[in-house]
Each structure stands twice: as structure tokens, then as C-alpha cells.
Amino acid sequence: MVHSDEFTVGWICAISTELTAAQSFLDEKYDSVTNVSQGDYNNYTLGQIASHNVVMTVLPDGEHGTAAAAVVAVTMLNKFPNIRIGLMVGIAGGAPSKNHDIRLGDVVVSYPLDGRGGVLQYDFGKTIQNQAFQITRFLDPPPFLLRSAVSALMANYESSGHDIKRTIEKIIEQTPRLREKYQRPPLSSDILYRSAIIHPTDSENPCLELCGVDPSRTIRREPRDNDYEDDPAIHYGVIASAKRVMKDAQIRDKLAAEKNVLCFEMEAAGLMNLFPCLVIRGICDYSDTHKNKQWQGYAAMTAAAYAKDLLSLMPSVQIAAVQPSKEDFASMAGTKPGEAASGRPGGMRCYLTVPPTVCVLHVVEVETELMPMSM
């Protein structure tokens, strides 16, 4: 039996669909945890990917957003004190633009740009009349080791391509019960509507029936049939995170243009300054009113496949040399409310009171102004 001290990779999912996809990429699955700490309500999946012992967990059903993700991460690190690196892996809504041909099933990886971290908390800042929304919440970038591995994997993909699509097909062949929900949907269902086209909220009929595929309502994109073009594509850049679902194509386009946002999700902003990690997201919709769940399973699979490729590239001895994340938490235990470990004042700051067996997360909000839904 593998001891809790031997796990060095923490993998967090937001919903059960993401966890199912993640589990299918384990090279070996271990027995469940038997000794549960007081106050630990997480459910853990233990296993191995390449040479790494990995612990996976998922947010409680119905609990989403930054605060829930932070609590789950803190509790996991209290149980597995030698976790060195973290991964937040799952699905997100894409933000396609002229510069980024993002499609359903593609993968977006958080990557620092212009000296800022790869995750933007877009609902934290200031709205000033006749000016663009000013972001005042800057989140820490992924750890250096993970960024280095991302760069190496990026180079490998560029020169040799990837096998994500074939890897998923092989897993589904071996586990037929995953086929209905996790195989790739027909490409005809990947429809990007123009921003002004709004799905009726008073009907449960399918989007194809209500919104149609007329060229005047949709944006045409050329098929990816080039032998040297990866499908799904991997995109690197800014992931937008907030405590609410993005279903507004106009705000989506505005943030994509002004902040180079590639996708939207709801958990990463609760982790980056607390649980240093890389965020990996499979695109399941386009962050608009046409959201549906048809692509969620496949998008979760593509994100998990990328995460496995990344871990397979990293030597275990390299990860073992990194300071455990829990030591970073210990250094934050004395952080004052309203002050981050980095010394930057204000914002949502998380600090810990850590008795030997229980982590208590305190969340302090100061000077928060939410961006309006209509701009």
C-alpha cells in the first residue's frame, strides 16, 4: 500500500465528468484512503501516471466556484503533505477570436503573458464610467517547474504532433461504457454562433432547431484536414476565472480582445495564490447562451490527455526536489487578513490556521466591485 507521504502530484476536478475522464488515464489505480483526518470531507482517487504517485479529488456535487476549490485544495494538502505540484484539469467555455481559432474539444493551458500570471480573475476590479473594466486582481503564475515542462511539451508537439485523439479512442475501445458520453461528438455539432444571436431562454428545444445553422447566424470555419495541423489544437495563454458562469458572447469577445482571454471557468482563481498549479481546460462550449453538455465528456478527456502527456515528460526526481506545497501554506499561516503572502494588499486573500490535523480556511473580501453583465 502506498503511504500518503509518497504522493507528489495533486489533481483537482470541479465535476464528476472531469474526474471520470482523469481516472481513465491512470496507469495504475491504488486502493482508497482508509485513514481519514478530522474535517476532511474530500473523496480521493489514488494512482500512478508514468513514475508519479497522483492523488485526484473532485469538488462536492453542486459546489462550484473559487471558494469551494480553495477549501478542497487546502484539505487535500493537509492529508497529503508531500504534494509538490498541482493540476486543475477539466472543462471550460472557449473564447474564439481572429487570433485564436478555438474549437470544441481543443485544450487551453494557463500560460503567463506580459509579465502576468496565466489566470485572470475577471470579476475583481473596478468599473469606471467611460473606461474599460480595470482588473485589480493579479494571480500568481504556475510554478517554474510546470512552466518549464509546458515549454518542453510545446516544442515536442510542434515538431512531432500529439496522439491525444488516438489515445482517447483507445481508452474508449477498452472501456465501452464511456463511449456514449466521452467519445468525440460529430463535428457538425461544433457550431459557433455570431455574438448577437441569443438562444431563447423560454424553450428547452435543441439549439439546432431553435437557432439553426444559417450562414447569417453562424461563423464559418474551415475544416482541420491538414496533416500537419493538430486536432484537437492546444492553446497557451490567459484563462479567465470568476464565481459565475459566463454565458454572454459580447462580454466574452470584449475580454478576449482586451485581455487576450482564451477561455472561461469558475475555480482557478481560488487556487493560484494558494495552491500553485497549472490549469488545463478542454473546451466544451463557447461561453454563450448556446451552452449545452454534448461536448463536456470529450473536452474533459482532451484536458486529461494533455495532463498525462505533461506528467509523462517530467522526471519524478525533478518533482521530488521541489518544496512541498504544504510548506508554502505554513509560511502563509501568519498572513494578516487583507494581505497576500506576496505582500500585495487587498483582494480575496486566503490564510490558514493549522492545528496538527485540521486546516481551517479563512476568506477575506475587501473592496470588491463586480463587473456588470451588460457593458
Give the separation between CA 250 and CA 313, rounded to whole angstroms.
Answer: 39
Q: Report the 10 Å Cβ neighbour count for 261.
A: 26
Q: At what angle do helices 296-313 and 16-23 cross, to 10 degrees?
A: 50
Residue 277 pairs in a beta bridge with 86
Q: Which secondary structure element, helix H or strand E, spans residue 58, and what is its range? A: strand 52-58
Helices 66-79, 325-332: crossing angle, 10 deg rounding:
110
Q: What kind and span of H or E run contains 360?
A: strand 360-364
HEC string of 164-178 equals: HHHHHHHHHHHCHHH
| Exposed e or buried b per residue across 176-213, where buried means at least 16 C-beta atoms within 10 angstroms of its C-beta | eebeebbebeeeeebbbbebebebeeeeeeebeeebee
Geometric angle at alpha carbon 24, from 162 and 243, rounded to 5°: 85
HEC readout, 249-303 = HHHHHHHHHHHCEEEEECCHHHCCCCCCEEEEEEEEECCCCCCCCCCHHHHHHHH
Distance CA 210, CA 197 (A): 11
- Per the listing, cell 444559417 goes with 214
* Tens-binned pLDDT, residue by residue, of the chain (375 aa): 788 899 999 999 999 999 999 999 999 999 987 676 778 889 999 999 999 999 999 999 888 778 889 999 999 999 999 999 999 999 999 999 999 999 999 999 999 987 778 998 888 776 666 776 676 666 788 889 999 999 999 999 999 999 999 999 999 999 999 999 999 999 999 999 999 889 887 777 778 777 878 888 999 999 887 777 889 999 999 999 988 899 999 999 999 998 899 999 999 888 887 888 999 999 999 999 998 899 999 999 999 999 999 999 999 888 887 877 555 544 443 333 333 333 333 322 333 333 333 333 444 333 333 444 443
d(CA 353, CA 313): 36
Pairing between strand 9-13 and 85-94? parallel
239, containing H or E segment: strand 234-241
Domains, the chain, in order of start with CATH, read 4-331 (3.40.50.1580)
Record the cell numbers describing residue 238, joined without a space.
490567459
pLDDT of amino acid 360: 39
Residue 143: φ, ψ to 5°? -55, 155
55 forms beta bridges with 10, 46
Task: Tell which residue, 65, 63, 89, 67, has the closest CA to residue 10.
Answer: 89
Distance CA 268, CA 88 (A): 7
Phi, psi (degrees; rounded to nearest 5) at 353: -110, 120
- Residue 327's pLDDT is 54
The pTM score is 0.85
Mark 119-131 as b/e (b = at least 16 C-beta within 10 Å): bbbbbbbeeeeee
Q: Characterize 78-97 residue by residue with b for buried, 16 or more Cβ atoms within 10 angstroms of its Cβ, and e for exposed.
A: bbbebbbbbbbbbbbbbbbe
